[in-house]
Structure 1
Amino acid sequence: MPDVTDGARSAVRLEPWEDDPSFLELLRRNNSPEMTRHLGGPESEEKLLDRHRRYAGLAESGRGRMYRVVLLPEEKVAGSIGFWEKEWRGGTVYETGWGVLPEFQGRGVAAAAARRVAGAAAAEGAHRWLHAFPSVDHPASNGVCRKAGFTLLGVCDLDYPAGNPIQCNDWRLELIERR
C-alpha cells in the first residue's frame, strides 16, 4: 500500500493485519491501561487472542480490514487502524477505530492513518459512509476525526465493550467522493 503524508507532520504506511506474533504484540501494547482508558480498560489475554484472530480474518470475510500503522521514514510500528461493517440507524456503514502508541502520539500519525484507511474503505465500494465513535471525553481522538475530514453529527450512546455504556461522538465521512 502506498505511503501517505499528512502535510509535513507525518507519513505512514498501512500494512494488512497478519496472523503473526509481531501483530499480536502490537495488540498487547495497545491493551495497556493508558491506551484503553476510554474503552472500558484492558482485555484479558484470551480476548486479545480472539481479537487477533478476528483482525487476521477480517479481510477474508469481506466485511472490513485491519492494518498495522508504520511511521516513515523511521519504519517504526506506531499503532493500528481498521474499518469494519456496522449496522447503524437502519443501514450498514463502515466504522473505523485506531490506537497510536504513546511514543508516537501528537505527531499527526492517527490523522494520516485515518485518511489512508478512508481511502481503503472507499476502494471497497461497499458503503457510502465511514463513521468513528470516540468517547466524548477523548479530545485527542475527536481531534483526529476533525483533522481527517469527518463531520460531527452529534452525541450517541453505545456499549463498548458489550455491557459497558459509553457516550460517544458520532463522526461521519462520505466515501463516495473518495472513489
Structure 2
Amino acid sequence: MTSVRLRRWSEPDAPLLAGANTADMTAHIAGPETDEQVARRHRNYLRFWEEDTAHMFAVLDGDEPVGGIGWWHIDRDGVAAAETGWFVLPHAQGRGVARAAVLLTIEDAAASLAAGTDLYAFPSVTNRPSNALCAGTGFELRGEEDFPFRGEVLHVNVWATTLGER
C-alpha cells in the first residue's frame, strides 16, 4: 500500500497540469485550457505561496506525482472564507488518493486559517465522483448555485466544512 502526501507546488509539477488538461478531465469545468492558460496557471500556483494567497500542492502517491490540490482565500457573501479544488490523473483514480489528499488539505487549511473559517468546494452537480468525495470527507451540502468559471457559468453543488469544528 502506498501513502499519499502533499508537496508544495514547484517548478517540476507543470506536467501535472498538462496531464489534467484533457477533454475527459475537464468535462465538468468548462473544458481544456490553451497551452498558455495552463502555463499561466502553473506560474500562479508558484506565485500564490509567495503572496500567501493560497496553498497549492502536488499530490504524491508514494513518490509519484499524480495530481494537484490546494486551497485559496475567497470572499463568500462578504465573509472571509476559503475554497478548495483538486484533480487526480486517471491512472491514479479509484485508489483513495483524492480522499487522502482532501483530508490532508483540510488539515493544512485548518492549521493556516482561523478556526471557524468555512472551506468550500464547488463541484458541478453532474460530477458524481467529486460530490461523493465531498460527502465522504466531512463537507456539508449547503445547496446549489450557478458559478462563473473560465468564462462560463457552471451549475454546482455548494459544499462546506467549518475549520476547527471537525
Tell me the TM-score normalized by structure 2: 0.94
What secondary structure sits across from 2:165 in the alignment? helix
Question: Which of 7, 30, 34 is residue 24 of structure 2 equivalent to?
Answer: 34
Question: Which of 134, 140, 144 is residue 145 of structure 1 equivalent to?
Answer: 134
Q: Take 2:37 and 2:136, find their aligned partners in 1: how far apart are those partners? A: 31
Deviation readout 1:66-115 (Å, 9 max, x if unpaired): 0000013xx22110000001111221211000000001111111111001
Q: Take 1:10 and 1:149, find their aligned partners in 2: how far apart are those partners? A: 23
1:125, distance to aligned residue in structure 2 (A): 2.4
Q: Tell me whether 1:136 sits opposite 2:125 in the alignment.
A: yes
- Given residue 67 of structure 1, which amino acid in structure 2 is its aligned partner? F
1:11, distance to aligned residue in structure 2 (A): 2.9
List aligned pairs for 1:26-105, cutoff 5 A.
26-72=16-62, 75-105=63-93
Match of 2:158 in 1: 170
Q: Tell me whether 1:114 sits opposite 2:106 in the alignment.
A: no
- Given residue 15 of structure 1, which amino acid in structure 2 is its aligned partner? R
Contact kept, 8 Å, 1:10 with 1:112, in 2: the verdict is no
1:138, distance to aligned residue in structure 2 (A): 0.3
Match of 1:17 in 2: 9
Question: Which of 153, 157, 160 is residue 146 of structure 2 equivalent to?
Answer: 157
- Given residue 26 of structure 2, which amino acid in structure 1 is its aligned partner? T
Question: Which of 106, 113, 124 is residue 112 of structure 2 equivalent to?
Answer: 124
Uncovered stretches (5+) of structure 1, i.e. residues with no partner: 1-8
- Given residue 133 of structure 2, which amino acid in structure 1 is its aligned partner? V
Q: Take 1:148 and 1:177, find their aligned partners in 2: how far apart are those partners? A: 13
What secondary structure sits across from 2:28 in the alignment? helix
CA RMSD of aligned residues (A): 1.4
What secondary structure sits across from 1:177 in the alignment? coil
Q: 4+ runs of 1 displaced by more than 3 Å?
A: none
Uncovered stretches (5+) of structure 2, i.e. residues with no partner: none
Match of 1:5 in 2: none
